[in-house]
Amino acid sequence: MDSSMHRDPAANLIVALDFPEQGQALSLANLLTPKVKFYKVGLELFVNSGPPVVTAIKEMGARVFLDLKFHDIPNTVKRAVACATRLGADIISIHLKMGAEGVRAASEGAEEASVSGGGGKPLIAGVTVLTSQGAAEPSEKTGSVLEEVLRLCRLARDCGVNGIITSVKEAGDVRRLLGPGCSIITPGIRLTAALDDHKRAGTVRDALDAGADYLVVGRPITRAPDPLRAAEEFLAQMKVFGSKP
């Protein structure tokens, strides 16, 4: 587990701003920012609001996980990741299923843009199998979600990508395979074991016990009657379970 979890859970909790409009997203971020320091900007918000929403969040002093799941021909991916790097994204997601050439291109785009721009290099995080896919559903290559996740993790490692996006259900196996040098991001985190369209969801304790570094939480915070209080509940659990050996 990333040692930063022991220092400041707020650095490891990522709140998903899954809203259609920038105003809604920034209003919630302004409310949460005294406690939350990391936000996810996904496809809906980015397509509707564009780069300014990333800039606005960065100006609040928060970090941004730009979750656009790039998957295209290598040159296009390289240039898109370079643009996201210059925009200031701290984590950028790509689809590992695009293959080794595309994954290497993403890493190269981030490296070149960070050098030319003088900023820090973002974490390139590879999507394995979406959490909307159930564990019993066959994967494209192997017939097993876990086997497909681990195959893609080996691909990421071989291509120099050390961020992995996977469900809590596979996070422990990913940690054992890749060791402490990998940053694991787990979507679909809940306070209790409730399921929705994240079929392979999990709790805070599940994620931390499995060795996750970053926990992504959406509706349990953003749709809560009191989002700040809900965020505080997640942070409190992260502090308790993240401090255990």
Residues classed as catalytic? 69
What DSSP element (H or E) covers 11? none
CB atoms within 10 A of CB 26: 21
Q: Whole-angstrom Cα distance, residue 135 to residue 144?
A: 8
CB-based burial, 137-171: b 16+ in 10 Å, e otherwise:
eebeeeeebbebbbbbbebbbebebbbbbbbbbbb
Q: Whole-angstrom Cα distance, residue 179 to residue 24?
A: 39
CB-based burial, 81-115: b 16+ in 10 Å, e otherwise:
bbebbebbbbbbbbbbbbeeebbbbbbbbbbbbbe
Q: Whole-angstrom Cα distance, residue 51 to residue 214?
A: 23
